[in-house]
Amino acid sequence: MAGVRQLSGRLCAAGLWTVLLVGCQTLPALTPCPLGSVEQAARIEQIVPIGTPREEAVAKLKKAGVEGTFSEGNSIYYCGTWAQSDKERWHIHVEMLFDGDGNVYAFRPDPLRAAANQEEPGTAKVTKKPKEIASGAKVNVVDPFAE
């Protein structure tokens, strides 16, 4: 009887390990985004234009593979990962800001990372001054360094 219990326990353990291994292999790898945080914000803005209502904005992001979470008051959506393929997800740092009516009014790179000038490993450092980054076609990307 003890041998049956021992065999049953081993089979159960082997089954659990198999499920864990198969489950882990199906998740795409989470890697640092190769884009700088200002470029990440500009790319997210291409997916969700300024003025998009909150529910539609989140639906567009999900369709594009972007996952994130809302702030407590739902005025900020923190974009955290962006699926690039079945095998790769990027870790991103973009905040999507909503006005009082629930429409997108701006995008900004994570101000804590930008203020510390921290970019993910493997990304190119921006060599331009912050004011130059915010100028041009990316006028709706909020630059935390701009005066």
**Domain range annotation of the chain:** 28-138
pLDDT at 29: 85
Q: Per-residue DSSP letters for 56-120?
A: HHHHHHHHTTEEEEE-TTSSEEEEEEEE-SSSEEEEEEEEEEE-TTSBEEEEEE-HHHHHTT---
Structure tokens at 42: 């500009």
pLDDT at 25: 53
β pairing state of 88-98 and 29-32: parallel
Structure tokens at 3: 């041998």
pLDDT at 36: 87
pLDDT at 109: 87
pLDDT in 10s for each residue of the chain, 147 residues:
555 555 555 555 556 555 555 555 566 788 999 998 889 999 999 999 999 999 999 999 999 999 999 999 999 999 999 999 888 999 999 999 999 999 999 999 876 665 555 554 433 333 333 333 333 444 455 555 555
